[in-house]
Chains A and B, each alone.
Chain A
Amino acid sequence: MTYEDLRTFAKKIEDWYAQYARKLLEDTLPDHLDTLDEAMRRLVLVRDALSEELPICFLGNSGVGKSTLLNALVSKQLSILPQGGVGPLTALATVVRYSTEPRFRATYHSKKKLNNLRFALESNYQAELRRKGESTGSPADVDADIDEDTSFDVEVVSAADAPDKDAGPMQSYKGQAALMLLGNQFADPGLPFLIDGLRACLGMELRYGTQFDADQSRRIDRIRNLVPSADADAAAVEYVAGEDLPGFLDALQENASGFLAPLVRTLDVWWDAEFMRGGLVLVDLPGVGVANDDYRQVTARWIRKARAVVLVVDRSGVTEATAELLRSTGFLNSLLHDTHDPSVDPVSLMVCGVKLDLVATDERQRQKQMNPGVKPDPWQTHFDTACHRFTELIRGQLQTELQRIVDEGADETRDARQRAVSRVLESLQIHPVSATEYRKALEDDEDDPPKVESPEHSHIPELRDAIQAVSKRHHERVVSRTTELVVDTYGKIRTAVSLVRAQWEEHDRAVEEAQRLRSDLEEFTAPLKEEFRVRQGEYRRFLRKEIPKRIEDLVEVASAQAEKAISRYNRRLRGIHWATLRAAIRRGGTFIGAKHVDLPNELTLLMEEPIAVVWSRRILVTLRSETRVVADHYVRFVGEVVEWARRDGARVRPELVEALHENLKAETKDIGNVGKEAIDALKESVRTQLFDEVEKAVRKRCRDFVRRNADCGTGVKARMHEFLDELASEVVDVARPIALRVLLKNYQKVQREITAVLGKYPNPIDTAMDAIVGDHEKRVRRSDAQRRKRILTRAQQTLERIPDPPASLAKAVK
């Protein structure tokens, strides 16, 4: 069964429903229409979302060798991703997919970013001149239209009266400009050159009469032509390898790490690597350490979508810093959203150890040294041992490190974290490899001979197989889940049409007989009806009052937990050097240098955690179980009527009631899993909405703090700590209503889902009775022989036109 088969069959069902079945049902079973429409809508949604794409994220500290590993996996000897660079500058997630023809596509930041950069450099230069007491040029251009955020940064970095304030971002601005104009981020041609260069890129008049050489002019022209005037106009630039592979690799390098890199917004690469066929998407997440907001959002988005995360570490294994990546990127939080639902794929974690060849070489050397004159074991033996030991090292380290994250967080959500971590450890895969040796084995260069016996011995092919296996498993699950849905929907509509046929085929009955039957039924169903009334009342109250109230209460609880967690985090911040903390506050809460202080991200994560737990463990679990109970009762009520009808076979045609019973069972089948689709939506909306607001609040407060000069002079440390404490409660105040809103909105979605299924049966017992005796009016209507004939013909035709399932589905459909 392929995705294409499923798509085609689903589309056929949709068409058949729209063309024939729906019209017939509209005339004959209008009460059922809502549910069937809903089922159909879901089918369309699932068909649209049916994607072969399976993202696998590669995560690791910068410099560890992620790109080298990815290159070995994807392009064997060739380097398509920049690797081995020193000092990354861009925060870009490079995305690699399969295609028979190698190509890449880049989109670029708009002029605005370039202009912000120019503005920052000019302001800084003028401030420098002012400090030296030299005259400044006209400030007109400096006050150009730029982002508020940048203006804040610039205000801070160029504040003439406080030269010590902070030149951190300035260095990065200069580096970006130098990379664009000179192709070297470390070149320092002086501010006037950089300013003129950027002005030339923007098509503005030069200010310092700089002369550009041929290379510089070429770069400036390229930039001027590539950069769109606004984000909305951003066109993708495609480059197909074709015959000129070296040229292609050069162009790719220019974008990925060369002079265009600071301008690149997205970079997608396609390569003809067989193993990626069938939808694998490998995402090279930027190494941490160059982070900015773009980076964080890019990373968080991919991590949420990822079906597997490959954590890349070197011989020291999983250190605190690497384990921390799993937390700060939101990987662990995103696991908290998933209820323990066996039908949901667990996201698997793979730890990949790179550069283990170095360990083997050193070990062999040691052996030689310790036993002079004795022939040491072959290199391969040492490598195999290193790989084996690495596996044990990682298992132990990861357990310790993840346990630490479980223990350090809030007590209230500890169990949920523990469960998430246990799930990760259960499915953990560990892959020790040597990408370098793999390449050497493929190249087999005399000057640089491989030490591994064969490419396979580097374990790279094994890792490739493991990734492919994840993809295979995932596709199998998706196919089986989708098949189930398609078959269900197909069954529902077919049953409904069959029900129509059964109803209209019903033989006329003597009026008295019908009345007698009806009164017998009434008598039998009276207690059922009473029970139903009570249950329905309770359930309605539960949906309307209980759950929203519970959501409110739990958000209060979650906020209190978050506040505690945040103040715990603040206590940890006190351990950080005050200057780092100040740098963070001056930069609006985020300081990503060698030391990370990332208030918006950390506070969002701390707020998200209890919210995720509240929703998945408290709200959704209760809602599902209550709804399941109600749905089961519905099925039972009708089931009892069916039983009664069977016992009374003489007067009733059981097919009819049975068709109804089957229909009900089919329709309430999934009710116990309501909210499945809402989970992904929630993951996305909680994080992004919380983050946006939290960030705004943090930035604003930090800015106020700096503007009233509270960041200077004696007592700054105490003032900052006080400020952080205030910030904690303010952030919670800001986040609480958002959390409440998002959860209530999400609940509405789920509630709609429930009422769509159950709402069709305002009273299942009456519907069942109706099916048996039919009310007078309907019988009169059906007794119109001509009309009956027409309906029956239509029902017959509709059933005949029902699309044939593909061979592989035929059995399931029966």
Chain B
Amino acid sequence: MAINVVVLGRSGTGKSTLINALVSPGLPILPQGGLGPLTAAPVELEFSEEPYLVARYHRRTDVLALERVARTARSDAAVSIRAARLLLYGDQFGTAELGDLLAGLAAAAGHCEPKPTFSGLVRHRIERIRRALEIADSPDGSAVFYASQDLPRFLSETFDHAAGFLAPITRSLRIGWPTPLLQRGMTLVDLPGVGVANDIYGNTTHAWLECASHVLLVVGREGITEEARKALLTTGVARRLIVGAAKMVVVATQLDASATDARRRDTIRLQRIPNPWPQYFERIRARAIHFVTDQVRSVLRDALRPTDGADLTPALANVHIHAVSALEHQLFFRNDPDNPPKIDHPFQSGVPAVERTLTQLVAEANRR
């Protein structure tokens, strides 16, 4: 039985970037770094020698609901319109007219035929959506894609489902990938970012968190945000950490710029060539870990009950705090002359340490 590690974080902190760095640093499989909130459906990553993708879809009624909301002047109409643009034109931004969008949605839901003015590509997408909705109605209810023959095709299917035109109707994704980390009985679950306004399909994130025994919290330079704190407290994760029923790994990301800035300051101040970048990054990591530790303490303290006593040490032992540069880790493995890495060895990115912690935690859980 694989252990689920649910990955939580604000949209834009680079959750997907970190997961890619952990799972497949040379070849990112999850869409990363796009504009606006990207992950709309939970993505489960598990081990498989042969890569595959299993998609489950929303129902026809959900597409019709989108159409209904898009017609109104409600404040969430804009969200539905963006979803419709993404579904039909593969891009949530664009100049498509509302009439076309509504007609396209109705056609995709199978209520009418596509307008003759629609381009071939739009018709193709409508066709794909129709098929997906049929699959959703079928008893098995999922579509499977294998990477065996055509890796680019597999990657583009993954993208289409996770952040492309199929994303608005994708309910969940499961990806199998041959990576040693996952081989040890772990499934990583990339959850929709917390604090994303306009969450059109309700909160799956909370449902996952409520039963999570292992949480990977990804934070940016600002540390644990209000929303993440709220999520940890209201879903009982913080309580479970105190009573020892859960483990959490907190990873601070996006610290690269801080190291670069510190190094630049030294260049100016010392008027000589400063120390190598990884040394600066090491210092920033240490600071970030301190800072996040303080924040974790404060979250745990809010979850304390009088019967727990005041000592946070046992609860803190269930939290492991790391600071990484997922970007540099990827660059190291990508081997791209256009984009040379600033680190000389993968361990300098901090990502391998996260891998080790995760592996240990999973091993412990499996022993029990």
Answer yes or no: do A and B interact. yes
CB distance from A215 to the nearest CB of B (A): 17
Query: A362 to chain B: which residues have CB within 8 Å?
Result: 17, 32-34
Once bound together, how far apart are the Cα atoms of A369 and B308, in whole Å?
52
Given the interface contacts A370-B152, A436-B257, does A287 sit within 8 Å of B298 by beta carbon?
A: no
- From A77, A171, A404, give the contact of B75 (CB < 8 A): A404
Once bound together, how far apart are the Cα atoms of A764 and B53, in whole Å?
88
Q: Indicate if the CB atoms of B229 and A594 lie closer than 8 Å.
A: yes
Q: Indicate if the CB atoms of B226 and A596 lie closer than 8 Å.
A: yes
Once bound together, how far apart are the Cα atoms of A164 and B309, in whole Å?
7
Query: B259 to chain A: which residues have CB within 8 Å?
Result: 84
Given the interface contacts A78-B268, A246-B269, does A594 sit within 8 Å of B36 by beta carbon?
A: no
- From A164, A314, A369, A379, give the contact of B306 (CB < 8 A): A164
Once bound together, how far apart are the Cα atoms of A374 and B264, in whole Å?
36
Q: Indicate if the CB atoms of B198 and A400 lie closer than 8 Å.
A: yes
Nearest B-chain residue to A172, judged by Cβ: B294
Q: Indicate if the CB atoms of A577 and B302 lie closer than 8 Å.
A: yes
Once bound together, how far apart are the Cα atoms of A388 and B94, in whole Å?
10
Is the CB of B316 closer than 8 A to any CB of chain A?
A: no
Q: Which among A32-40, A60-68, A464-472 touches the partner chain?
A: A60-68
Is the CB of A194 closer than 8 A to any CB of chain B?
A: no
Given the interface contacts A315-B35, A359-B34, A400-B75, does A87 sit within 8 Å of B226 by beta carbon?
A: no
Residues 30 to 77 of chain B near chain A (Cβ within 8 Å): 31-37, 75-76
Q: Which among A13-21, A391-399, A488-496, A743-751 touches the partner chain?
A: A391-399
Q: Mark A395-435, 1 if CB is under 8 A from B, else 0.
A: 01101110110110000000000000000000000000000
Q: Which among B168-176, B184-192, B216-224 touches the partner chain?
A: B216-224
Given the interface contacts A363-B34, A369-B27, A370-B155, does A84 sit within 8 Å of B262 by beta carbon?
A: yes
Residues 241 to 291 of chain A near chain B (Cβ within 8 Å): 245-246, 249-250, 253, 287, 289
Q: Indicate if the CB atoms of A83 and B76 lie closer than 8 Å.
A: no
CB distance from A444 to the nearest CB of B (A): 14
Is the CB of B82 closer than 8 A to any CB of chain A?
A: yes
Given the interface contacts A164-B310, A186-B291, A316-B193, does A579 sit within 8 Å of B303 by beta carbon?
A: yes
Is the CB of A30 closer than 8 A to any CB of chain B?
A: no
Q: Which among B125-133, B138-146, B282-290 touches the partner chain?
A: B282-290
Q: Mark A314-325, 1 if CB is under 8 A from B, else 0.
A: 111101110100
Query: B309 to chain A: which residues have CB within 8 Å?
Result: 163-164
Is the CB of B366 closer than 8 A to any CB of chain A?
A: no
Query: B92 to chain A: which residues have CB within 8 Å?
Result: 393
Query: B147 to chain A: which residues have CB within 8 Å?
Result: none
CB distance from B35 to the nearest CB of A (A): 5
Once bound together, how far apart are the Cα atoms of A371 and B159, in whole Å?
14
Given the interface contacts A68-B257, A85-B258, A86-B284, does A400 sit within 8 Å of B76 by beta carbon?
A: yes
Once bound together, how far apart are the Cα atoms of A436 and B269, in whole Å?
19
Is the CB of B2 closer than 8 A to any CB of chain A?
A: no
Once bound together, how far apart are the Cα atoms of A399 and B76, in whole Å?
10
Once bound together, how far apart are the Cα atoms of A594 and B297, in whole Å?
12
- Number of A-B residue pairs with CB-CB distance less than 8 Å in the complex they form: 205
- From B76, B226, B268, give the contact of A595 (CB < 8 A): B226
- From A86, A372, A396, give the contact of B291 (CB < 8 A): A86
CB distance from B365 to the nearest CB of A (A): 27
Is the CB of A361 closer than 8 A to any CB of chain B?
A: yes
CB distance from B258 to the nearest CB of A (A): 4
Query: B320 to chain A: which residues have CB within 8 Å?
Result: none
Given the interface contacts A63-B220, A316-B193, does A366 sit within 8 Å of B230 by beta carbon?
A: no
Is the CB of B113 closer than 8 A to any CB of chain A?
A: no
Once bound together, how far apart are the Cα atoms of A396 and B83, in whole Å?
12
Once bound together, how far apart are the Cα atoms of A176 and B197, in whole Å?
35
Query: A316 to chain B: which residues have CB within 8 Å?
Result: 10-12, 35-37, 193, 196
Once bound together, how far apart are the Cα atoms of A406 and B74, in whole Å?
11
Q: Indicate if the CB atoms of A403 and B75 lie closer than 8 Å.
A: yes
Q: Indicate if the CB atoms of B258 and A579 lie closer than 8 Å.
A: no
CB distance from B240 to the nearest CB of A (A): 14
- From A171, A186, A403, give the contact of B298 (CB < 8 A): A171
Q: Indicate if the CB atoms of B155 and A369 lie closer than 8 Å.
A: yes
CB distance from B141 to the nearest CB of A (A): 28
Once bound together, how far apart are the Cα atoms of A319 and B226, in whole Å?
13
Is the CB of B103 closer than 8 A to any CB of chain A?
A: no
Is the CB of B255 closer than 8 A to any CB of chain A?
A: yes
Q: Indicate if the CB atoms of B257 and A171 lie closer than 8 Å.
A: no
Q: Mark B221-255, 1 if CB is under 8 A from A, else 0.
A: 11111111110011000000000000000001001
Query: B270 to chain A: which residues have CB within 8 Å?
Result: 246
Most buried by A among B32, B75, B258, B334: B75
- From B193, B222, B304, give the contact of A62 (CB < 8 A): B222
Q: Indicate if the CB atoms of A580 and B264 lie closer than 8 Å.
A: no
Q: Indicate if the CB atoms of A320 and B28 lie closer than 8 Å.
A: no
Nearest A-chain residue to B299, judged by Cβ: A594
Once bound together, how far apart are the Cα atoms of A786 and B109, in whole Å?
101
Once bound together, how far apart are the Cα atoms of A87 and B291, in whole Å?
6
Residues 292 to 342 of chain A near chain B (Cβ within 8 Å): 314-317, 319-321, 323
Q: Indicate if the CB atoms of A580 and B302 lie closer than 8 Å.
A: yes
Once bound together, how far apart are the Cα atoms of A371 and B17, in whole Å?
20
Nearest B-chain residue to A63, judged by Cβ: B222
Q: Indicate if the CB atoms of A361 and B339 lie closer than 8 Å.
A: yes
Once bound together, how far apart are the Cα atoms of A237 and B193, in whole Å?
45
Q: Indicate if the CB atoms of B82 and A576 lie closer than 8 Å.
A: no
Q: Indicate if the CB atoms of A319 and B11 lie closer than 8 Å.
A: yes
Once bound together, how far apart are the Cα atoms of A315 and B17, in whole Å?
14
Is the CB of B137 closer than 8 A to any CB of chain A?
A: no
Most buried by B among A175, A362, A593: A362
Once bound together, how far apart are the Cα atoms of A577 and B268, in whole Å?
47
Given the interface contacts A164-B306, A389-B35, A595-B226, does A84 sit within 8 Å of B75 by beta carbon?
A: no
Is the CB of A352 closer than 8 A to any CB of chain B?
A: no
Is the CB of B93 closer than 8 A to any CB of chain A?
A: yes
CB distance from B58 to the nearest CB of A (A): 21
Q: Indicate if the CB atoms of A249 and B269 lie closer than 8 Å.
A: yes
- From A246, A371, A372, give the contact of B271 (CB < 8 A): A246
Is the CB of A712 closer than 8 A to any CB of chain B?
A: yes
Residues 583 to 629 of chain A near chain B (Cβ within 8 Å): 583, 593-596
Q: Mark A472-512, 1 if CB is under 8 A from B, else 0.
A: 00000000000000000000000000000000000000000
Once bound together, how far apart are the Cα atoms of A403 and B72, in whole Å?
13
Most buried by B among A316, A386, A436: A316
Q: Indicate if the CB atoms of A315 and B33 lie closer than 8 Å.
A: yes
Is the CB of A203 closer than 8 A to any CB of chain B?
A: no
Residues 75 to 115 of chain B near chain A (Cβ within 8 Å): 75-76, 78-79, 81-82, 91-94
Most buried by A among B35, B159, B220, B327: B35
Nearest B-chain residue to A371, judged by Cβ: B152
Q: Indicate if the CB atoms of B79 and A400 lie closer than 8 Å.
A: yes
Is the CB of A230 closer than 8 A to any CB of chain B?
A: no
Query: A371 to chain B: which residues have CB within 8 Å?
Result: 152
Q: Indicate if the CB atoms of B229 and A369 lie closer than 8 Å.
A: no
Once bound together, how far apart are the Cα atoms of A246 and B269, in whole Å?
5
CB distance from B10 to the nearest CB of A (A): 7
Is the CB of B301 closer than 8 A to any CB of chain A?
A: yes
- From B193, B255, B308, give the contact of A86 (CB < 8 A): B255
Given the interface contacts A315-B35, A362-B32, does A372 sit within 8 Å of B152 by beta carbon?
A: yes
Nearest A-chain residue to B265, judged by Cβ: A79
Query: B27 to chain A: which residues have CB within 8 Å?
Result: 369
Residues 354 to 373 of chain A near chain B (Cβ within 8 Å): 355, 358-359, 361-363, 365-366, 369-372
Is the CB of A390 closer than 8 A to any CB of chain B?
A: yes
Q: Mark A154-184, 1 if CB is under 8 A from B, else 0.
A: 0000000001101110010001000000000
Q: Indicate if the CB atoms of A407 and B75 lie closer than 8 Å.
A: yes
What are 9 A-to-B residue pairs whose CB atoms are below 8 Å?
Answer: A84-B258, A85-B258, A168-B298, A249-B268, A359-B35, A369-B27, A397-B198, A400-B79, A579-B233
Q: Other CB < 8 Å A-B pairs besides A316-B12, A359-B34, 6 of them?
A: A61-B225, A246-B269, A315-B33, A316-B10, A371-B152, A594-B230
4 tightest A-B contacts by CB? A362-B33, A63-B222, A316-B12, A87-B291
